[in-house]
C-alpha cells in the first residue's frame, strides 16, 4: 500500500551532523524530498546557491516574509532562515515525504501548523564530540562557534518537544535508524486517516449487506 507523504522535521545542535545525515538519507532512499531553505547567512566554502540554501539578502528575506512565501522562519545566531512554502506544499500534495532540516523555533511553528508532522532531534554521543565536530568542520570563527555552543545549551532545554531523538555516533547506523523511525511513523493512525476512512466506509456497506 502506498504511504501518504508526511512532513518530517530534523533538528539538532550545530555541528552534530544534520547536513551530512540528510545528504546520505536522500542518497540512500528515494522516498524523501529535502526542502532547501532561504537564509541571509553567507555561503561556506563549497556551498552553492540553490543546493544547500538559497542565499539571499536581508531585504529579499523580509520581502518573502511580507509576501507570505515562507511556512516558517526564525533568526538564528544573527541570521534569518526560512522554509519556502511552494516546495513543501507541492511535494506533500504529490504524496512525497518532505524533510525540513530546521532549528527549534521553526520546528515548534511547524508543529502548530502541521500537527501530524514528525519531529526528530539529532544528538551527539556526548558534548565533547559535538565541540570536536563543530571546530573540526573548520568553517566558523571561534566567536561563531561560541555563539553556536551557547545556542545548543538553550536548545537542549526543549528536546522533549520532539517525538524521537536519534544519536549520530556512527553515520550509517544513524541514517538507517532515522529511516526506520520514519517508516514506522507512516503506520500511526493519525498518518493513515485516508485509509481508515475508506475502510470504515467499506465496512458500513458490507455490514448492511449491500454488496
Ligand atoms: P550540521 O549540519 O549539524 O551543522 P554537519 O553535517 O556540517 O553538521 O557536520 C559537522 C561535522 O561533523 C562535519 O565535519 C562532518 O563531516 C562531521 N560529522 C558528521 N557526522 C559525523 C559522524 N557520524 N561521525 C563523525 N563526524 C561526523
Ligand atoms: P547553518 O548555518 O549551520 O547551516 O544552520 C543554522 C541553523 O539553522 C541550523 O540549526 C539549521 O537546522 C537551521 N535552519 C536551516 N534552515 C532553516 C529554516 O528554513 N528555518 C529554520 N527555522 N531554521 C533553519
Closest to 99 measured CA to CA, from 120, 113, 81: 120
Closest to 191 measured CA to CA, from 92, 120, 110: 92
| Cβ(166)–Cβ(122) below 8 Å | yes
Total Cβ atoms within 10 A of residue 57: 9
Ligand 2 center–CA 42 separation, angstroms = 13
Ligand 1: does its nearest atom lie under 6 Å from the Cβ of 148?
Answer: no
Determine the pLDDT at residue 1. Answer: 60
Dihedral sign from CA coordinates of 93, 99, 101, 106: positive
pTM: 0.94
Determine the pLDDT at residue 2. Answer: 63
pLDDT tens across the length of the chain (211 residues) = 666 789 999 999 999 999 999 999 999 998 899 999 999 999 999 999 999 999 999 999 999 999 999 999 999 999 999 999 999 999 998 889 999 999 999 999 999 999 999 999 999 999 999 999 999 998 889 999 999 999 999 999 999 999 999 999 999 999 999 999 999 999 999 999 889 999 999 999 999 876 5
| Cβ(17)–Cβ(166) below 8 Å | no
Ligand 1: does its nearest atom lie under 6 Å from the Cβ of 125?
Answer: no
CA–CA separation, 33 and 91 (whole Å): 7
What are the DSSP E strand ranges found in the chain?
7-12, 32-34, 37-39, 53-55, 70-76, 79-84, 97-101, 118-123, 164-167
Total Cβ atoms within 10 A of residue 210: 7
Determine the pLDDT at residue 35. Answer: 97
Determine the pLDDT at residue 107. Answer: 98
Ligand 2 site residues, Cβ closer than 6 angstroms: 14, 18, 37, 41, 72-74, 76, 81-83, 101-103, 105-106
Determine the pLDDT at residue 47. Answer: 94
Amino acid at each position: 500500500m502506498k504511504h501518504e507523504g508526511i512532513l518530517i522535521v530534523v533538528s539538532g545542535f550545530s555541528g552534530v551532523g544534520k547536513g551530512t545525515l540528510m545528504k546520505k538519507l536522500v542518497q540512500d532512499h528515494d522516498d524523501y524530498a529535502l526542502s532547501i531553505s532561504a537564509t541571509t547567512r553567507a555561503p561556506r566554502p563549497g556551498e552553492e546557491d540553490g543546493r544547500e540554501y538559497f542565499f539571499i539578502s536581508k531585504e529579499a528575506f523580509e520581502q518573502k516574509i511580507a509576501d507570505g512565501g515562507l511556512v516558517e522562519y526564525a533568526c538564528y545566531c544573527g541570521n534569518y532562515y526560512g522554509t519556502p512554502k511552494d516546495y513543501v506544499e507541492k511535494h506533500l500534495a504529490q504524496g512525497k515525504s518532505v524533510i525540513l532540516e530546521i532549528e527549534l523555533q521553526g520546528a515548534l511553528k511547524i508543529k502548530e501548523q502541521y500537527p501530524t508532522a514528525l519531529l526528530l532531534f539529532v544528538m551527539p554521543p556526548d558534548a565533547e564530540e559535538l565541540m570536536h565536530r563543530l571546530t573540526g568542520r573548520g568553517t566558523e570563527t571561534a566567536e561563531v562557534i561560541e555563539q553556536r555552543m551557547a545556542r545548543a545549551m538553550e536548545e537542549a532545554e526543549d528536546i522533549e518537544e520532539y517525538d524521537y531523538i536519534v544519536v549520530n555516533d556512527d553515520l550509517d547506523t544513524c541514517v538507517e535508524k532515522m529511516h526506520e523511525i520514519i517508516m514506522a511513523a507512516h503506520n500511526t493512525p493519525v498518518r493513515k486517516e485516508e485509509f481508515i476512512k475508506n475502510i470504515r466506509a467499506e465496512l458500513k456497506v458490507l455490514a448492511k449487506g449491500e454488496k
